[in-house]
Amino acid sequence: MQATGGASLNTSDHAESHQPASTSPGRSLWWLFPGAALIAYAVDLGTKTWAVGALDDGRDRELIGDLLTLHLTFNPGAAFSTGTEYTVLLTCLAIVAVCLVLVFSLRVRSGLWAVAFGLLLAGVGGNLTDRLFRAPGPMRGHVVDFLQLPNWPVFNVADICINLAAGLIILQTFRGIALNGSRDRDEPADAGDQPDGATS
C-alpha cells in the first residue's frame, strides 16, 4: 500500500531492521568458562580450608572405607611430590599457565572447551593460591593435599579439576572440535559446540 508521494505504509521491514540481534549460541556458551572456574575454585578453596582445620590432629579418616582416605599433607613440589626443591619455579610456571588459559579462553565458543578451560583455570589457580599465600611464605607456599587412594599420591580438588580438564581437552581434540566450536572434519558439530552464528 502506498501513501501520497509514494511513501510506503508497510513498517514491518523498518521495525525488523531495528530489532537487536540475538546472541549467538557459541558466544553465550563462553560464560560456562568463568562459571565452571568460579565454582570449582570455590570448592577447592573451601575443602582445603576445611581440611586444614579438621585434619590438623594428624589422624587419618576413612571416607569410603579403604578406597578413599582423608590424610592431610603439605606438598612443596609438583604432582607426586616431585621437584620439591623448585617451589618458586613451579609458582612462576603456574602464573604463566593461568595467564595462558585466560588468553586462550577468549577464543572459546564451544561448551565443552569452555568447561575444560574453566576447570583448568580453577585447578591451576587453586594450587597457585596455596603457593602464594600459605606457609612458609609467598611464592614458596606448600599446597594442601588431603585425598588419598590406595597406592596413589595424596591429592586435592584442584588436582581433580586439572585431570578432568585434561580429559575434556583430549576428548575435544579427538573429536576434531576447535576452540571456536567448528570441526576440522566434514561432520557437523554438536549443538553445544556450534561456532558463532552457526545454526542447526
What proportion of the chain, given as a percentage, has pLDDT over 70? Answer: 76
Q: Which residue in the list 13, 60, 66, 145 is annotated as catalytic?
A: 145
**Smallest Cα–Cα separation from 178: which of 196, 200, 165, 199?**
196
For residue 172, pLDDT beyond 90: yes
Secondary structure string (H, E, C) spanning the chain: CECHHHCECCCHHHHHHCCCCCCCHHHHHCCHHHHHHHHHHHHHHHHHHHHHHHCCCCCCEEEECCCEEEEEEEECCCHHHCCHHHHHHHHHHHHHHHHHHHHHHCCCCCHHHHHHHHHHHHHHHHHHHHHHHCCCCCCCCCEEEEEECCCCCCECHHHHHHHHHHHHHHHHHHHCECCCCCECCCCCCCHHHCCCCCCC
Pick the catalytic residue from 57, 159, 190, 193: 159
Mean pLDDT of 179-187: 76
**pLDDT value of residue 9:** 46
Residue 159 one-letter amino acid: D
Query: Catalytic residue at 193?
Result: no
- pLDDT tier at 198, thresholds 50, 70, 90: low
75, 141 Cβ separation under 8 angstroms: no
The more confident residue out of 5 and 93 is 93
Q: Within 13 Å of residue 114, how many CA atoms lie on the same side as its CB?
A: 24
130: annotated active-site residue: no
Mean confidence (pLDDT) of the chain: 85
54: number of Cβ within 10 Å: 12
User: Cβ(195)–Cβ(113) under 8 Å?
Assistant: no
Which of 20-34, 74-88, 102-116, 163-177 is the least confident region?
A: 20-34
What is the mean pLDDT of the segment spanning 24-41? Answer: 86
Is the pLDDT assigned to residue 155 strictly greater than 60?
yes
